[in-house]
A and B are shown apart, each in its own frame.
Chain A
């Protein structure tokens, strides 16, 4: 049986593969504190969101969570649940944050807000399921600080990527205009 795929599907698959690769790279980087990770795969989600819209970003993000967990052997494990709850909440946050005026709020804002939503999703999961103890509250400031730091860096990287892309597009346009 042949499944008909569209150009959109191909694009989603290509971008998701890229996000998965970044996720794998990150998985081998040791972390000083369990759960504190740069989340560089989110650069892809963010870039896709700003370039192709929310639906594509949601596909890429969710596909990345499922495929990465399969590759790392974490499918349906607590780590997978944390990853998924974080991804879903940060997508929800991105959906809201997208509607901020673009003149003032760029990729950095989206990235930071998504990072906060990501740790919120994870900590809710931890509190409700993994460590049902009020002591989890002590972790909130640490994770929030990490989210701000890595959210800022990821946002700056995304902004840089978009800037380069737009610059290239403009030079191509102007070259075409000249010739």
Chain B
């Protein structure tokens, strides 16, 4: 290997480390987006204590939001995968209930602008 090859390897390794750091760092989510079928049903802030009822094709799903985390508390589906996923708190996490077509997705604080000037 030539000297430039070593540089390439080292620079690439550092870059990949940086990619892991930025893309896999788990940030605490700010909001939960609830989808019903292919539509966004509602978006709630996670900074609250709240129970949301969503009426899917199978029936009533109960979603609990509790200070920074969210879970399916009850769902009318047969296998209960969504309920067993438990509490979600990090950006990008999802819980999907296919039979009832309800899904939760945690999203981060969206700040499109720091400030606006006119």
* Interface size range on B against A: 10 to 19
Contact of A140 with B by CB under 8 A: yes
Interfacial residues, chain A to chain B (CB-CB below 8 A): 100-101, 103-106, 108-109, 112-113, 116, 135, 137-138, 140-141, 144-145, 148, 152, 155-156, 159
Q: Which residues of A contact B23 (CB under 8 A)?
A: 137-138, 140-141
Shortest distance from the beta carbon of B33 to any chain A beta carbon, whole Å? 13
Tell me the nearest residue of chain B to A151, going by C-beta.
B12
Interfacial residues, chain B to chain A (CB-CB below 8 A): 1-5, 7-9, 12-13, 15-16, 19-20, 23-24, 92
**A103–B3 CA distance with the chains assembled, in angstroms:** 9
Please tell me if the beta carbons of A156 and B8 are within 8 angstroms of each other in the complex.
no
Inter-chain pairs besides A109-B8, A138-B24, A145-B20, 4 sampled, C-beta below 8 Å: A100-B4, A105-B2, A105-B5, A112-B8
27 contacts between A and B (CB under 8 A): A100-B4, A103-B2, A104-B2, A104-B3, A104-B4, A104-B7, A105-B2, A105-B4, A105-B8, A106-B4, A109-B4, A112-B8, A112-B12, A116-B12, A135-B92, A138-B23, A138-B24, A138-B92, A140-B19, A141-B23, A144-B15, A144-B16, A145-B16, A145-B20, A148-B9, A148-B16, A159-B1
Tell me the nearest residue of chain B to A108, going by C-beta.
B5
Main secondary structure on B side of the interface with A = helix
**A152–B2 CA distance with the chains assembled, in angstroms:** 13
Q: Which residues of A contact B13 (CB under 8 A)?
A: 148
Q: Which residues of B contact A148 (CB under 8 A)?
A: 9, 12-13, 16
**A144–B17 CA distance with the chains assembled, in angstroms:** 10
Shortest distance from the beta carbon of A130 to any chain B beta carbon, whole Å? 18
Shortest distance from the beta carbon of B1 to any chain A beta carbon, whole Å? 5
Please tell me if the beta carbons of B19 and A144 are within 8 angstroms of each other in the complex.
yes
